Amino acid sequence: MKPLIFGASGLIGNACARLGDEYCGTINITDIPCIDNHGGSHLLRMELSTFAMAHSQPIKQISEFIEKQQPDCIINAVAWSHVDGCEANPEKALLINAELPRQIAMMGRRFSLPIVHLSTSYVFDGEKEVYTESDSPNPLSEYGKSKLSGETAVMEVLPDHSIIARTIFVFGEEILKKNFYYQVRRAVTSGTPLNVPCDQWGNPTYVETLAAGLIELLRKKRYGLFNVCGNESMTKYRWACEILDSLNAGHPLAMSVKSKDLGQPAPRPFNASLSNEKFSSACGISFDSLNNDLVKMLGKN
């Protein structure tokens, strides 16, 4: 397998790239330099995330790259996941989270390449305890709406050769160290308590297992919609406490607060928990316990 990865500098994309390097040699699309219409030179990932479809050159350059390198699948991990930012700028959210996936899927159709597209349980309203793939989405935020539009776009373009992978609370080794695990670690280092919602539920999801699962779904050609997430559902506050326990740090560094007291502009589903039974059955990969995954993180940092 020779995957073409969009967003290989991010948390999920980079984990897929590490597996790709191990298994088959990955094409990292973010390594391709390009020139914008103002004469500036920068990495293609900047063109994709900032200008998206405003310029035609990146799409032409990617097509030429595909013709030359001959990948056999696409993993799209590009997203604007700043929930409050999406709420303030829904046009940009749709451009990156919906129109860009449509364009990537169209390239997949043109070159007969299956595609994995990452999505989120924020496509739901949080009124149910645990969501399965058969539940009807009802997003509350502009972020959730844009991600649902991206799912729909990909499935419309490649209905029989796409994998939509919904996930939530993803953590793990990351180049920029932005995910929640590192936020808690920084609170420990600085001694500054972190306000964490006690009423937002989800599944802490270790990115290494997530990436391995995506690769396995591609290998086995298991197309369709899958919830790819950890086994355990918990509040974000409890998740913070589990991280603190793994670091032998005190729980007072995590301050339990209600969502309404955080002043977040975008509404969040109170329960974004997912069932991963369909995923585990389809690819034969199971997530480890959160405690074991946190022990693995200690060995990486």
Question: Residue 72: which CATH number?
Answer: 3.40.50.720
pLDDT at residue 44, as a whole number: 40
The residue type of 72 is D
pLDDT at residue 32, as a whole number: 44
96 in a domain, yes or no? Answer: yes
155 in a domain, yes or no? Answer: yes
187 in a domain, yes or no? Answer: no
CA distance 231 to 202: 10
pTM: 0.89
pLDDT at residue 29, as a whole number: 54
pLDDT at residue 6, as a whole number: 85
pLDDT at residue 156, as a whole number: 97
Percent over 70 (pLDDT), the chain: 86
185 in a domain, yes or no? Answer: no
240-253 tens-digit pLDDT: 999 999 999 988 88
pLDDT for residue 288 is more than 60: yes
pLDDT at residue 63, as a whole number: 79
Q: Strands 170-171 and 205-206, how do they pair?
A: parallel
pLDDT (mean) for 150-169? 97
State the chain's mean pLDDT as an integer.
87
190 in a domain, yes or no? Answer: no
Structural domain harbouring 215: 3-175+204-231+272-287
pLDDT at residue 27, as a whole number: 54
pLDDT (mean) for 258-270? 95
Looking at per-residue confidence, does 220 or 6 come out higher?
220
pLDDT (mean) for 137-153? 98
37 in a domain, yes or no? Answer: yes
241 in a domain, yes or no? Answer: no
pLDDT for residue 262 is more than 60: yes
State how many domains the chain has: 1
247 in a domain, yes or no? Answer: no
